[in-house]
Structures are given as C-alpha cells and as structure tokens.
Structure 1
Amino acid sequence: MKITEAKVIVTSPTRNFVTLKITTDEGITGIGDATLNGRELAVATYLSDHVAPLLIGRDPANIEDTWQFLYRSGYWRRGPVTMAAIAAVDMALWDIKGKVAGLPVYQLLGGASRRGLSTYGHASGRDLEEIFDSIRAEQEHGYTAIRVQSSVPGITALYGVAAQPQASGERYDYEPAQRAALPAEEDWDTRAYMRHIPTVFEGVRNEFGPEMILLHDGHHRMTPLQAAKLGKSLEPYDLFWLEDCTPAENQEALRLVRRHTTTPLAIGEVFNTVWDIKDLIQEQLIDYVRCASTHFGGISPLKKVMDLAAMYQIKSGFHGPTDVSPVGLAAQMHVGMAIHNFGLQEYMPHSEKTDAVFRQSMTFSGGLLHPSDTPGLGVEIDEDEAAKYEYANAYLPYNRLADGTVHDW
C-alpha cells in the first residue's frame, strides 16, 4: 500500500480548522488535525508546500519511520507549526492503520484500560450567583468535575468567563479568537486576581460541598512566586488541579512553586515536544500532563510521554478545547483509553456546524467520553460541508497591564 494523495482542508464552521486527509492506492483514507489557533494558515502552508509532497509513495504502515523522517530531515526542529503539521500526518496514519486492521486506534495502542474517559466541564460567571448557575448547568449536562473561572473586580474582560461581551454563548463553547484584522486588547491586574480567586472557591465549596471535583486555570499569568502564593491560598478548597500557574518554558521555575504548595499542578498545553516537559516530569514538579495531540506531534509522541510520566505517578490531563478539532480530540481520546495513567480529559462540545463538518461516532454519557469502536479514529470529514465555510482571519486577545506593558494572555 502506498500514499497517493495528501490534501490540506481549511474550513471555518464558527472557528478555523486545518485538516490533513491522506489517501492510499487502495482507497483507504485517514485524517489528522493540524489546527493552530490564530496561526492556522502557517500550518496549512507548511503541510501543502513542504510535507505533503514528501508523503507521496510512502508506505502508510510505517508510522514511526515517517514521524522520525519528518521531524529529523527538516533540520529545523520543534515549534508549534512544525509539530502541528507532523501531528496531522501521525493521526492520519494511525487512522488508516486502524481502518486496515478493522479496529479502533486504542486497540492498537494496547487495548482499553477503562470503560470511558472521565471529563471536566467549564463553569464561569461574573459573580458567585452566575458561577453557581453555571456549575449547575454543567452538572445537568453530566459533568462531575468542573473547571471554575471568574471575573475579577477591576478587570474588564478575563479569560474563561463566558458571560462577558466577547463570548457568544452562556455555556463555555465560544471562540475567544475574534474575527478581525488585529487582536483585541484586554487588561490585567495580578494582585486583584490573586485576592479574588480564593474567595470564589470559598463560595463554591460552601455552596456545593467538599465532594465536587474543582479545577482552575491560571493561564500562565503569574510569576513563580505569585503562583506559589495562589496555590497555597487555594489549598483549603482541595482543587483537583491548578492549571498553567506560571509560564513553564523555564522548567526550573516550578521547583519554587512545588516547594511552597501542595495544590496539584497541571501544565503542558502550549508544549510541542517531550523536551519542553521532560524536567517537569523527571523532577516530579507537576501532577498532570496537559499536552494536546494536535500540538505535540500526534498520537505517537503523546503515548511515549505518558509512558515516561507513568514512571513518576504523573497522570494525563490532555488539553481539549474547541480549537482542537474533533479529529485531534479523538486522537488523544484513544491514547487516554489505552494508557494506565489517565487522569482527566477536558471536553468542550463543538458547535453544530463543526459537528456537521466532522462526522463523529464518539459518545458522552454520565460524564464519560468514549471514542467508539469504529475502526480508526472514528471521525470523518465531510468535504462538501467543509467547503461551505471559508477561512476567516481571527486572533486571540492579548493583555496589557495598567501602565501599558504587554502581559501574558
């Protein structure tokens, strides 16, 4: 069997997605997610101009060899554009292998280690009453674990709060990347945030009791010392994890955070390779790996990094927002089904338009996701439907402090 076509499909059903479709001489197809939110066309060009021509004539069965070829032969390694492109190829080849074998991909990775994937939903609000209502709505949808984000007095617009003007729905299914020529500017005040967030979790615990699984995302906005202080102040409220408490490019910075708080830490959604997270795992500076298959090079490296993490009792917490397409979500669902050290899967339902483009066979019931037993990844792209939605330029917001300094978003 040989690869005869590698087609890049860009579509925008409420948000932009980049998909690679690989076809073999036996008519078997596989798809992979190459979406990089706000930089989608960079990956599309990288795939169509530099990767797709290299795939023609290759044996789709040789997944590891193809991955290593694309990673090493380019000389300029790593980075989100390169790794998203490689990820799409890797997913598509696993999809093909599953279809050839007549098995879902998780069976090829070692078989099921659980009945389904425990998930968490997203609750938010501008005040406690809105947050309480949002939590109850998520519970009604079946979530038993919930990430809580809150507006902060003195900050006009804050990441993760769906009721703000830039949100498009009451549930946290919205696109923070606004369709405009320039990114939106938002404000930020770390001290105000650190004062307010512990009071939010105090209120949530008082309202919902000690059993509810709660999470929070700091979104890379604190220094290591600030992150340590916040983690310590949140200890009485028993968080399942505090996510992205500080930018972790400097992996050593997490040593300070770890020394001063027992709040579990989850990091990795902006990482591209094992080198970005290696020290955090080997020094046991985090508790959950947040890497996403789409941005980490695909299924193959994600499975490998979780095997490394298992040696240190570190579990998965794969990134699963709606800027990872249903294909990328399915890819990491298969990994989550197979590994022993699964922790929790982020799950944000896509829009109806997106679900019409990406035909899925996964199920969500009782808070558990299952990728289905459909051979391959269990997702197919409807190219006619995809063609209805042209690419629209969109950027994520960015932050400035009160004095005008650009800050982490």
Structure 2
Amino acid sequence: MKITAADVIVTSPDRNFVTLKITTDEGITGLGDGTLNGRELAVASYLADHVVPLLIGRDPHRIEDTWQFLYRSAYWRRGPVTMAAIAAVDVALWDIKAKAAGMPLYQLLGGASRNGIMAYGHASGRDLPELFDSIRQHLEQGYRSIRVQTSVPGVNAVYGVAAQSTDGLRYDYEPARRAPLPAEEDWDTRAYLRHLPGVFEAVRNEFGPELPLLHDGHHRMTPIQAAKLGKELEPYDLFWLEDCTPAENQEALRLVRQHTTTPLAIGEVFNTVWDYQTLISEQLIDYVRSAVTHTGGITAMRKLLDYAAQYQIKSGIHGPTDISPVGMAAALHLDLAIHNFGIQEYMRHGAATNEVFRQSFTFTDGYLHPGEQPGLGVELDEEAAARFPYQQAYLPFSRLKDGTVHDW
C-alpha cells in the first residue's frame, strides 16, 4: 500500500478546523486533526507546503518511522505548529491502518481497558444562580463530573464563562472571536483569589460532596498564588485544579505541591514529553492535560501516558471545541485502551460541525465511547465543509488594571 494523495482541508462550520485527508492506492482514506486555535493557517501551510510532498509514495503502515522522519528530518523540533502537523499525519495513518484491519482503532492499541470513558462538562455563570442553573443543565445532559468557572466581581470578562447570545441560545464557551483583531479583556488575580473559594463553598452546599468538581486557573497565577488557592480549595475536594500557574518552568510546581493536596492537572499548551519530564519524574502533577492534536498524535501521546503511568499519573486529555471531532475520536480510542485513564474533557460541537464531521462516538449516562466502526469512526463531508470557508478568528488577551499584558 502506498500514499497517493494528501489534502489539507480548512473549514469553519462553528469554528475553524484543519483536517488532513490521506488517500492510498487501495482507496482507503484516513483523517487527522491539525487544528491550532487562532493559528490554524500556520499548520495548514506547514502541512501543504512542507509535509504533504514528503508523504506521497510512502507506506502508510510505517507509522512510527513516519513520525520519527517528520520530527527529526526538519531539524527544528517541537512547538505547537510542528507537533499539530505531525499529529494530523499520525492520526490519519492510524485511521488507515485500523480501516485496513477492519477494526475500531482502540483494538489496535490493545483493546478496551474499560467499558466507557468518564467525561466532564463545562458549567459556568455570571453569578451563583446562573452557575447553579448551568450545573443542573449539565447534570440533566448526563455529565457526572463538572468543571466550574465563574465571573469575578469587578472583572468584566473571565475565561470559561459561556457567552449568552441575543437569541437566548447557549453554545459551549467559544473564546475565539471572528474579527480582524483580538478582543482585549481585563484581569485581577487578587479579586479572583478572594472570590473563588466562596463559589466552591456554595456549589458544595448546593450539590453535595459526591459530585466531582474541577476548575481551570488558565495559567493566571504565580506559583505562590496557586499554592494559596489550592490550599483554600482543599475543603471542597476538587477532582483537580488545572493549569494553576504557567508550567513551562516545571520546577515552579514544586512550590505548589509543597503547600496543597489539591490534585493538579497541567499541560494543555504542552507539545512533547520534554515539557513534562520534571513534572512526571518528580510527581508534581496528577493528570496530563495534553491534546492528541497538539502533542504529535496517538503515537506520541501513548508514549507520554505510558511514562506517566510509572508514577501513578493519569490522563486528562484536552477536549474542548477547538479539537475537531477527528481529534476527539482519536482521544477516545486512546482513552479506552490505556490503563491509566483519568477523565476526558468533552464539549459538544454545534450542529454545523456535526454536519461536516459525521461521528460514530456516543455519549450516554456520562460516558463516552468511540464506537465500533473501523478506524476512527469519523467521516468528513467535503461538500458540507466547502460551504463553511475559513474566517479569521483570534483568542482574546488580558491586561491588568495598569495596562500590563497578562496571561489569558
């Protein structure tokens, strides 16, 4: 079998997505997700201009060899653009291999280690009544674990609080706005630290001790601020506190770990195992948050999670709506197969996205399953995709009260 074509498809149904479609001389096709929110065209160009010419004529079954070739032959390694491009190729090749075998992909990864994949949803509100309503809505939808994000008094816009449209319909929080320039938001860490513990106290009082609760700090705290928050949240028994401080400085998590027993999840902006080396070997985190799409695909993520398993660290794969259904399906097959699964982030895509990407994965009673179709179980409707051309979109950015640019 040989690769005869590789096409980069950029489409924007509910948001921008980059998809790689690889075709073989036996007529088998595979899909890979190369979406990088706010920098989609950089990956599309990397793929179309630099990677696709290298794929034609290659054996699609040589997945490990192709991964190493794309990672090492360019000389310049790592980084979100490179690793998203490699991930798109890797996942597409796994899709082809599983289709050729006539099996759902998870079977090629060793088979199922569980019956279903526990998912968490994103609840949010501008005040406690709205937050409680959002939590109840997610419980009614079947979620058994809930991420809690809330507005902060005195701060106009806060990450993770779902936008309310003028027609009253709610779509899962989409911060990438279709506009020529990124939106500017404000931020006050001290106000956030004063407000958040009381929110979790109220949520626990309303919904009881059993409901797993998560929270995302979105890299906005210094290590000592993160340590303080983690300690103050201990009475409310969080499932995890995510991205409490920028973890590029991996040693910073030592300080956080010394002061709190709140479980820590890190890594949605990471791209390789090297970003985690100290965090894992010193057991400074509890959950790995990388996305299959941004971390070199299934091949690399499986190795990363096997490394984490040696230290009883579990998976918490990134899965918001900036991961296409192709990337989500790849995550679910991996989730089902690995032993050290923790939890899966899951945000529902909109109707237009589901029209473009036809999926076999299911969500029932709080559990996801990738389905039993051969391959990933996702097919791309190219005619539908063509009806939604790319639209420029940027993530927001934050400034402090004095005008200093802060981590968004």
Aligned counterparts of 1:371 and 1:341: Cα–Cα separation in 2: 18
Aligned counterparts of 2:14 and 2:363: Cα–Cα separation in 1: 22
Unaligned runs of 5+ in 1: none
Residues 214 and 240 in structure 1, CA contact (< 8 A), matched pair in contact too: yes
Residues 168 and 174 in structure 1, CA contact (< 8 A), matched pair in contact too: no
Match of 2:225 in 1: 226
Residues 162 and 174 in structure 2, CA contact (< 8 A), matched pair in contact too: no
Aligned counterparts of 2:278 and 2:297: Cα–Cα separation in 1: 21
Shift of 1:174: 3.5
Match of 2:314 in 1: 315
Q: Residues 400 and 108 from structure 1, CA distance in 2 versus in 1: closer, same or farther, beyond 3 angstroms?
A: same
Residues 162 and 168 in structure 1, CA contact (< 8 A), matched pair in contact too: no
Which string of whole-angstrom CA distances, capped at 9 and with x for unpartnered residues, describes residues 176-219 of structure 1?
11111110000000000000000000000001110111000000
Which string of whole-angstrom CA distances, capped at 9 and with x for unpartnered residues, describes residues 53-93 of structure 1?
00000000000000000000000000000000000000000
* Structure 1 range deviating more: 69-78 or 172-181: 172-181
The one-letter code sitting in structure 1 at the alignment partner of 2:120 is Y
Match of 2:138 in 1: 138
Query: SS of 2:352's equivalent?
Result: helix
The one-letter code sitting in structure 2 at the alignment partner of 1:189 is D
Residues 160 and 173 in structure 2, CA contact (< 8 A), matched pair in contact too: no
Aligned counterparts of 2:341 and 2:295: Cα–Cα separation in 1: 17
- RMSD over aligned CA atoms reads 1.1
Q: Residues 12 and 406 from structure 1, CA distance in 2 versus in 1: closer, same or farther, beyond 3 angstroms?
A: same
Aligned counterparts of 1:174 and 1:14: Cα–Cα separation in 2: 12
The answer to whether residue 34 in structure 2 is matched with residue 41 in structure 1 is no
Match of 1:183 in 2: 182
The answer to whether residue 282 in structure 2 is matched with residue 283 in structure 1 is yes
> What TM-score results when the alignment is normalised by the length of structure 1?
0.98
Aligned residues: 408
Match of 1:22 in 2: 22
Aligned counterparts of 1:176 and 1:170: Cα–Cα separation in 2: 16
The answer to whether residue 356 in structure 2 is matched with residue 351 in structure 1 is no
Residues 163 and 169 in structure 1, CA contact (< 8 A), matched pair in contact too: no
Shift of 1:168: 8.8
Shift of 1:171: 4.5
Match of 2:247 in 1: 248
The answer to whether residue 4 in structure 2 is matched with residue 12 in structure 1 is no
The answer to whether residue 401 in structure 2 is matched with residue 402 in structure 1 is yes
Aligned counterparts of 2:303 and 2:358: Cα–Cα separation in 1: 28
Residues 162 and 169 in structure 1, CA contact (< 8 A), matched pair in contact too: no
Q: Residues 335 and 17 from structure 1, CA distance in 2 versus in 1: closer, same or farther, beyond 3 angstroms?
A: same
> What TM-score results when the alignment is normalised by the length of structure 2?
0.99
Q: Residues 169 and 34 from structure 1, CA distance in 2 versus in 1: closer, same or farther, beyond 3 angstroms?
A: farther
Match of 2:155 in 1: 155
Match of 1:304 in 2: 303
Q: Residues 344 and 168 from structure 1, CA distance in 2 versus in 1: closer, same or farther, beyond 3 angstroms?
A: farther
The one-letter code sitting in structure 2 at the alignment partner of 1:284 is Q
Query: SS of 2:89's equivalent?
Result: helix
Residues 160 and 172 in structure 1, CA contact (< 8 A), matched pair in contact too: no
Aligned counterparts of 1:61 and 1:171: Cα–Cα separation in 2: 43
Match of 1:266 in 2: 265
Query: SS of 1:277's equivalent?
Result: helix
Match of 1:194 in 2: 193
Aligned counterparts of 1:138 and 1:358: Cα–Cα separation in 2: 24
Aligned counterparts of 1:327 and 1:163: Cα–Cα separation in 2: 25
Residues 198 and 234 in structure 1, CA contact (< 8 A), matched pair in contact too: yes
Residues 8 and 47 in structure 2, CA contact (< 8 A), matched pair in contact too: yes
Which string of whole-angstrom CA distances, capped at 9 and with x for unpartnered residues, describes residues 140-161 of structure 1?
0000100000000010000111
Match of 1:65 in 2: 65
Shift of 1:163: 4.2
Query: SS of 2:300's equivalent?
Result: helix
The one-letter code sitting in structure 1 at the alignment partner of 2:352 is K
Match of 2:31 in 1: 31
Q: Residues 10 and 263 from structure 1, CA distance in 2 versus in 1: closer, same or farther, beyond 3 angstroms?
A: same
Aligned counterparts of 2:244 and 2:309: Cα–Cα separation in 1: 22
The one-letter code sitting in structure 2 at the alignment partner of 1:3 is I
The answer to whether residue 80 in structure 2 is matched with residue 80 in structure 1 is yes
Aligned counterparts of 1:169 and 1:91: Cα–Cα separation in 2: 37
Aligned counterparts of 1:128 and 1:174: Cα–Cα separation in 2: 18
Aligned counterparts of 1:2 and 1:38: Cα–Cα separation in 2: 33
Shift of 1:170: 5.6
- Show the 5 A alignment for 1:100-179: 100-163=100-163, 171=170, 173-179=172-178
The one-letter code sitting in structure 2 at the alignment partner of 1:292 is A
The one-letter code sitting in structure 2 at the alignment partner of 1:54 is L
Aligned counterparts of 1:280 and 1:330: Cα–Cα separation in 2: 27
Aligned counterparts of 2:115 and 2:99: Cα–Cα separation in 1: 22
Query: SS of 1:229's equivalent?
Result: helix
Shift of 1:173: 1.3
Residues 126 and 163 in structure 1, CA contact (< 8 A), matched pair in contact too: no
Aligned counterparts of 1:212 and 1:106: Cα–Cα separation in 2: 29
Match of 2:54 in 1: 54
Residues 172 and 348 in structure 1, CA contact (< 8 A), matched pair in contact too: no
Aligned counterparts of 1:170 and 1:226: Cα–Cα separation in 2: 36
Aligned counterparts of 1:168 and 1:265: Cα–Cα separation in 2: 37
Match of 1:378 in 2: 377
